[in-house]
Chains A and B, each alone.
Chain A
Amino acid sequence: MELRELYQEIILDHGKNPRNHGKCEQFNRDANGHNPLCGDKVHIYLKLNTEHEVENISFEGEGCAISLASASILTEIIKGKSFNVAKKIINDFLNMIKNKVQITVNSLNEDQKTTIMSLSGVKQFPMRVKCATMAWHTLASALGEKK
């Protein structure tokens, strides 16, 4: 059933109990995302250290289960990754949603791949794609611009 594919246990769990929620300490980059059509909002905070690694990352936001889960999963996946790998993961994720391509980044373990793939069910719901991608676009702009 497609609907159960979208609302998998893992997504419901992240939606109800989002990880890394709130403003993290000592962030040095952040960005806002907003979907004016539905009112969903996300604000991503991250600390990029001198080694160019995402040392810490968190988000604030309000929205549907899909958008909260997506942001929550994003923070778990991206934490500890280097700037370049993080950028590659964003690309992979957006490709997966748009073009149904598999995740190719080799720096993710199987668990992380499964987690990130749990969001791929949204492909079958074109009106909800933005809910899943908003946090990732916001992360891209947080990484792209220096505070």
Chain B
Amino acid sequence: MNIKNIKSEFPIFKQKINGKPLVYLDSANSSQKPKSVIDRMSSFYETEYSNVGRSVHSLAVKSTNRYEETRSKVAKFINAKSEEEIIFTKGATDSINLVASSFGEKFINKGDEILTTELEHHSNYVPWNFLREKKGANIKFAPVNLNGEIDIDSINRLITDKTKIIAITHLSNVTGAILPLKKIVDLAKEKKIPVLVDGTQGAPHLKIDMQELGCDFYAISCHKMYGPNGLGILYAKKKWLDILPPYQGGGGMINEVKKDFITYADGPAKFEAGTGQTAEVVGFKESINFIEKIGIKNILNHENNIMEYGLEKLRKYNSINIIGNPKERGSVICFTIKGIHPHDIATILDEDGVAIRAGHHCCQILHEKLGLPATARASLGVYNTKEDIDILCNAIDNCKKIFNI
């Protein structure tokens, strides 16, 4: 598959936005979907759909097989030891809530510490706050440095004998910093502390290898990986599946149900109560196929080229301040324009067909530290081009004109 013509794989780009071609720079928020994923979900509904893992009729067999094929596909894609380590969830938020709830219930008590960072998305802070409220745990934040990075020392300094889990992002959705995960995981292993990685922004862009990385949990958001909405993955090392209590109760996660006791299913089923996102799971296999056809490294190179081009162009504006300057950067560019609030930027850019996000990007802790109530963010996906950056810059010029800057 040629990356140059990749826009043609995405039906959304056929339309005009306010009479202009769509320049989609909001992939860190959610990515667009290739036709293969959309078609797969329709064809599944048209010919193979039924509930999975319950009935014995032909359609149930078909859909169960399709569902489990994705589990195997995901396991291979992230190099998990086995497909048993792959849990389907409602999203990365749900994945993190699952760990916070189950791990927290069993292993976190009053005075215990959860170590996270100032870079985290609310989805990797709020679930831990529940444990602070319910159990009296403490949350510690590794400070972000001036480049918008988290270095290994800042983590190391905050580890104590009360640290029960380290919960960190792979790639910041604001500064774009890619964290030194391998070093952090190795350090944590030495001290026998489990690590949860919020891979929401990492998985769509970076090669991930669970066995090489060695983290205990890795949360994935499928809709940011050219996949369906409402679906997430939790990778969890096998040993945790065995010892963690279930997250939610319902059908499919039980072994035996009696009036005076209940026993639970093994493996990922224990954490998958109720009917899951069937067509979404089936469609997600096509998302991985799509990524593999291009190659995740090619996607990364492509995005890096566009990002460097974008950074270079935006740095030429005196009025623009780019947030963060990490050495290892994912394709996220947060910026402010002097004298124009990010929401006004976003509205004016939209008039030129340019879709960006404005706000605190669910990172109020970081924005408070930066002393900024909001920023504008352009984030990239496989379909972006240098021309998109040129159009973005023209739209920024238009913004400045309207505000007389």
Q: Are B347 and A38 in contact (CB under 8 A)?
A: no
- In the complex, B249 has a CB within 8 A of chain A: no
Tell me the bound Cα distance from A41 to B341 in angstroms: 13
Instruction: Report the number of A-B residue pairs with Cβ-Cβ less than 8 Å.
Output: 49
Tell me the bound Cα distance from A62 to B360 in angstroms: 13
- In the complex, A128 has a CB within 8 A of chain B: yes
- Complex interface residues of chain B between 137 and 171 (CB less than 8 A to chain A): none
Q: Are A39 and B367 in contact (CB under 8 A)?
A: yes
- Name the one of A3, A39, A127 contacting B402, with C-beta atoms under 8 angstroms: A3
Interface centre among A2, A41, A65 (most CB of B within 10 A): A65
Tell me the bound Cα distance from A22 to B339 in angstroms: 19
- Complex interface residues of chain B between 329 and 370 (CB less than 8 A to chain A): 339-344, 347-348, 351, 358-360, 364, 367
- In the complex, A53 has a CB within 8 A of chain B: no
Question: 27 A-B pairs, CB-CB below 8 angstroms?
Answer: A2-B351, A3-B348, A3-B402, A4-B402, A7-B344, A7-B348, A12-B403, A12-B404, A16-B339, A38-B358, A38-B359, A38-B374, A39-B359, A39-B360, A39-B364, A39-B367, A39-B373, A40-B343, A40-B373, A62-B373, A64-B343, A65-B403, A66-B343, A66-B344, A128-B343, A128-B347, A131-B343
A 40-62 binary contact with B (CB < 8 Å = 1; else 0):
11000000000000000000001
Which residues of A have CB within 8 Å of B359? 37-39
Which residues of A have CB within 8 Å of B364? 39
- In the complex, A63 has a CB within 8 A of chain B: yes
- Complex interface residues of chain A between 13 and 32 (CB less than 8 A to chain B): 16
Tell me the bound Cα distance from A64 to B373 in angstroms: 10
In the A-B complex, the 4 residue pairs with the smallest Cβ-Cβ separation, listed nearest first, are A64-B341, A64-B343, A39-B373, A3-B351
Q: Are A39 and B374 in contact (CB under 8 A)?
A: yes
Tell me the bound Cα distance from A120 to B222 in angstroms: 39
Tell me the bound Cα distance from A5 to B347 in angstroms: 13
Q: Which residue of B lies closest to A127 (CB)?
A: B347
- Complex interface residues of chain A between 85 and 138 (CB less than 8 A to chain B): 125, 127-128, 131
**Closest approach, in angstroms, between the C-beta of B336 and any C-beta of chain A?**
12
Q: Are B347 and A6 in contact (CB under 8 A)?
A: yes
Which residues of B have CB within 8 Å of A131? 343
- Complex interface residues of chain B between 83 and 138 (CB less than 8 A to chain A): none
- Name the one of B347, B367, B374 contacting A125, with C-beta atoms under 8 angstroms: B347
Which residues of B have CB within 8 Å of A12? 402-404
Which residues of B have CB within 8 Å of A38? 343, 358-360, 374
Tell me the bound Cα distance from A38 to B347 in angstroms: 13
Q: Which residue of B lies closest to A68 (CB)?
A: B341
Tell me the bound Cα distance from A92 to B373 in angstroms: 30
Q: Which residue of A lies closest to B345 (CB)?
A: A64
* Chain A interface residue count, Cβ-Cβ cutoff 8 angstroms: 21
Chain A interface residues (CB < 8 Å from chain B)? 2-4, 6-7, 12, 16, 37-41, 62-66, 125, 127-128, 131
Tell me the bound Cα distance from A4 to B404 in angstroms: 13
Tell me the bound Cα distance from A62 to B336 in angstroms: 15
Tell me the bound Cα distance from A41 to B404 in angstroms: 25
Q: Which residue of A lies closest to B341 (CB)?
A: A64
Q: Which residue of B lies closest to A62 (CB)?
A: B373
Which residues of A have CB within 8 Å of B342? 64
**Closest approach, in angstroms, between the C-beta of B161 and any C-beta of chain A?**
37
- Complex interface residues of chain B between 284 and 304 (CB less than 8 A to chain A): none
Given A3-B351, A39-B359: A65 and B373 interface contact (C-beta under 8 Å) = no
Q: Are A64 and B344 in contact (CB under 8 A)?
A: yes
Q: Which residue of A lies closest to B351 (CB)?
A: A3
B 365-405 binary contact with A (CB < 8 Å = 1; else 0):
00100000110000000000000000000000000001110
- Name the one of A4, A37, A65 contacting B341, with C-beta atoms under 8 angstroms: A65
Which residues of B have CB within 8 Å of A40? 343, 373
Q: Which residue of A lies closest to B368 (CB)?
A: A39
Tell me the bound Cα distance from A127 to B348 in angstroms: 13
Tell me the bound Cα distance from A30 to B360 in angstroms: 26
Tell me the bound Cα distance from A40 to B373 in angstroms: 8
**Closest approach, in angstroms, between the C-beta of B123 and any C-beta of chain A?**
15
Q: Are A65 and B374 in contact (CB under 8 A)?
A: no
**Closest approach, in angstroms, between the C-beta of B152 and any C-beta of chain A?**
31
**Closest approach, in angstroms, between the C-beta of A23 and any C-beta of chain B?**
19
**Closest approach, in angstroms, between the C-beta of A10 and any C-beta of chain B?**
14
**Closest approach, in angstroms, between the C-beta of B297 and any C-beta of chain A?**
36
Which residues of B have CB within 8 Å of A65? 340-341, 344, 403
Q: Which residue of B lies closest to A16 (CB)?
A: B339
Q: Are B402 and A7 in contact (CB under 8 A)?
A: yes
Tell me the bound Cα distance from A130 to B18 in angstroms: 22
**Closest approach, in angstroms, between the C-beta of B46 and any C-beta of chain A?**
34
Tell me the bound Cα distance from A66 to B359 in angstroms: 15
Q: Which residue of A lies closest to B348 (CB)?
A: A3
